[in-house]
């Protein structure tokens, strides 16, 4: 065999390997919250996420240090504008200035694909104190979108907002899903906007809350994706074997009731705490591990929910690290997959993990790259040997 052919063979081998590595991505994205004073540097986090093959990350701000650390990686970012910025963002000059400072300079090296304007605005304490942020939310989203249009970025970057599941007044059975009456007049035009600019509707969904509030009625197996009888929606006859998918379909039903079957849903947060206060039933590492392992293997099957079986759902796990400065009950500080020092809180045991089924320890850049190169080199060595013998 002459060397050009061998070269071509090697090239194709690398292509195939690249493809294999790509499809082995963990499947779920992750929320990278930073309400803590003990987190590792974004550079180390970039290595950690790449070794986990997590290629979708959601931030609650647009921290330039993070966006820079992930330049030229394959990781896609959702960046956030906090609720405190909503009123400002209704001003076109301020919205354009924000996009110019926090989004434009990082493209295309860092793949920013989405901006969330506000988080869980409806039902928030802030909205109770300042109801005008509910009125300002959609104008702020539109103004940020228009800024992207005028900067020529609107085809690369979506604009949306993330909602809590409490925007529904009914979610059970899923076909009865409907938005709260007091929010409906805000949500309808938001859905119109999503349909018009083709951006997704984001929901933060925590079956943990339903279980914690009602541990005697709600089946733990059903919320943890373990084998169970599940439930049948009496209206649609669809069978549900886990609560998260039932919650997603309840949102589809609520959107449909508003005339929108044309908007995608993404789960911008879901998770399970590994620790909680005494009254937070079910918050422990066993349940948290079970929830995330089973969720990941569901997502890796690339299927949708019973209502939309052919539409896989993008899901962002909450969260990457335990965040020691979050207020509220103990669970709030214990949603992380990792401790700040990089130790995994529990085994994820999913495909493509480290040898013991643990997330790899937080390693410094060269180490994990060397490992990957060693494996690649070994495979290439075998194939080259084979080609020489042909």
Ligand X SMILES: *[C@@H]1O[C@H](CO)[C@@H](O)[C@H](O)[C@H]1NC(C)=O
Residue 62 backbone dihedrals phi, psi, to 5 degrees: -135, 60
Q: Measured from the CB atom, is 148 or 167 closer to ligand X?
A: 148
Summarize as ranges the residues that interact with ligand X (CB under 6 A): 113-114, 156, 158, 198-200, 264
ω into 172 cis (within 30 of 0): no
Is 22 one of the catalytic residues? no
Q: Measured from the CB atom, is 264 or 332 closer to ligand X?
A: 264
Give the nearest distance from C-beta 268 to ligand X in angstroms: 12
Tokens 């959107």 map to which residue?
Answer: 255
Query: CA-CA distance, 106 to 100, in Å (whole number)?
Result: 10
Are 348 and 271 in contact, with CB atoms under 8 Å apart?
A: no
Give the nearest distance from C-beta 145 to ligand X in angstroms: 12
Residues with Cβ within 8 Å of 383's Cβ and at least 6 positions away in sequence, in order, are 9, 10, 13
Q: Measured from the CB atom, is 82 or 200 closer to ligand X?
A: 200
What is the maximal distance between C-alpha atoms in the chain?
A: 76
Q: Measured from the CB atom, is 8 or 198 closer to ligand X?
A: 198
Chain centroid to CA 350: 17
Residue 327 backbone dihedrals phi, psi, to 5 degrees: -75, 175
Give the nearest distance from C-beta 358 to ligand X in angstroms: 31
DSSP 344: B
* Active-site annotation holder among 120, 280, 290, 323: 120
* Active-site annotation holder among 269, 280, 290, 323: 269
Q: Measured from the CB atom, is 150 or 286 closer to ligand X?
A: 150
Query: CA-CA distance, 251 to 179, in Å (whole number)?
Result: 8
Query: CA-CA distance, 280 to 107, in Å (whole number)?
Result: 42
Give the nearest distance from C-beta 270 to ligand X in angstroms: 17
Give the nearest distance from C-beta 348 to ligand X in angstroms: 26
**Catalytic site positions:** 120, 269
């Amino acid at each position: 065999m002459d060397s050009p052919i061998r070269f071509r063979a090697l090239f194709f081998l690398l292509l195939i390997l690249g493809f294999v590595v790509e499809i082995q991505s963990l499947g779920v994205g992750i929320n990278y919250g930073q309400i803590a004073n003990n987190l590792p540097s974004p550079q180390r986090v970039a290595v950690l996420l790449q070794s986990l093959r997590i290629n979708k990350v959601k931030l609650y701000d647009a921290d330039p240090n993070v966006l820079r650390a992930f330049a030229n990686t394959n990781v896609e970012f959702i960046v956030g504008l906090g609720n405190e910025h909503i009123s400002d963002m209704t001003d076109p000059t301020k919205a354009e200035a924000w996009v110019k400072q926090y989004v434009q300079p990082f493209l295309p090296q860092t793949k920013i694909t989405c901006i969330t304007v506000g988080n869980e605005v409806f039902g928030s304490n802030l909205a109770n104190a300042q109801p005008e942020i509910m009125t300002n939310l959609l104008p702020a989203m539109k103004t940020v979108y228009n800024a992207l249009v005028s900067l020529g970025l609107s085809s690369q970057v979506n604009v949306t907002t993330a909602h809590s599941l409490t925007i529904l007044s009914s979610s059970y059975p899923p076909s009865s899903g409907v938005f709260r009456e007091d929010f409906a007049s805000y949500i309808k035009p938001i859905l119109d906007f999503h349909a018009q600019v083709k951006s997704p509707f984001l929901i933060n969904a925590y079956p943990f809350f339903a279980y914690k509030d009602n541990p005697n009625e709600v089946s733990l197996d059903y919320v943890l994706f373990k084998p169970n009888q599940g439930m049948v929606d009496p209206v649609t006859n669809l069978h549900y074997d886990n609560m998260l998918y039932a919650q997603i379909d309840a949102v589809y039903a609520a959107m449909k009731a508003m005339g929108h079957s044309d908007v995608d849903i993404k789960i911008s947060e879901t998770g399970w705490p590994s620790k909680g206060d005494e009254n937070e039933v079910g918050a422990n590492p066993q349940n948290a591990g079970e929830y995330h392992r089973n969720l990941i293997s569901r997502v890796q099957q690339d299927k949708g929910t019973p209502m939309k079986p052919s539409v896989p759902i993008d899901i962002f796990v909450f969260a990457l690290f335990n965040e020691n400065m979050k207020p509220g009950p103990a669970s709030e500080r214990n949603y992380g997959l990792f401790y700040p020092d990089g130790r995994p809180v529990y085994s994820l045991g999913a495909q493509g993990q480290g040898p013991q089924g643990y997330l790899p320890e937080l390693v410094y850049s060269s180490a994990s790259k060397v490992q990957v190169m060693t494996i690649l080199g070994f495979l290439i060595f075998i194939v080259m040997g084979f080609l020489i013998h042909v």
